[in-house]
């Protein structure tokens, strides 16, 4: 099985599981899953966010997801409890399809690490 095929199977399985738990019966898309990760990483539970806060929640998730790839590094929590990351390396210029593959791979790795750490 190729790496691409394996990732596709892992992504679909994870997407199905997350959609069952959080999607209310609807298949969640990549952006929705990234948003959930941001809410999780913020650590304040589900709440209503302003439009700007939603963008910040997405940014938290993207930084966390791309941290293992060497693009970002956690720096600190601010006085309101929001995590801040610093850029270590600029993201490469990727076509939209390539961006999607990178993010799906990052989400799969995130949940693999989350599951592994919860077993310890």
The pTM of this model reads 0.89
Does residue 112 register a pLDDT over 60?
A: yes
39 CB neighbour count, 10 Å cutoff: 19
Residues 112 and 120: their CA atoms lie apart, in Å, by 13
- Number of residues assigned to the chain: 120
- Residue extents of the structural domains in the chain: 3-119
Name residue, tokens 């600190």: 76
Query: pLDDT digits over 54-108, tens only?
Result: 999 999 999 999 999 999 999 999 999 999 999 999 988 888 888 999 999 999 9
Helix (H) or strand (E) holding 62: helix 51-66
């Amino acid at each position: 099985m190729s790496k691409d095929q394996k990732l596709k199977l892992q992504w679909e399985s994870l997407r199905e599981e997350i959609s069952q738990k959080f999607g209310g019966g609807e298949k969640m898309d990549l952006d929705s899953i990234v948003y959930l990760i941001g809410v999780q990483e913020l650590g304040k539970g589900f709440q209503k966010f302003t439009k700007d806060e939603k963008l910040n929640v997405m940014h938290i998730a993207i930084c966390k997801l791309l941290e293992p790839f060497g693009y970002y590094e956690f720096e600190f929590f601010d006085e309101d409890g929001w995590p801040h990351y610093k850029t270590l390396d600029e993201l490469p210029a990727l076509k939209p399809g390539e961006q999607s593959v990178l993010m799906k791979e990052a989400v799969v790795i995130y949940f693999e690490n989350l599951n592994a750490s919860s077993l310890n």
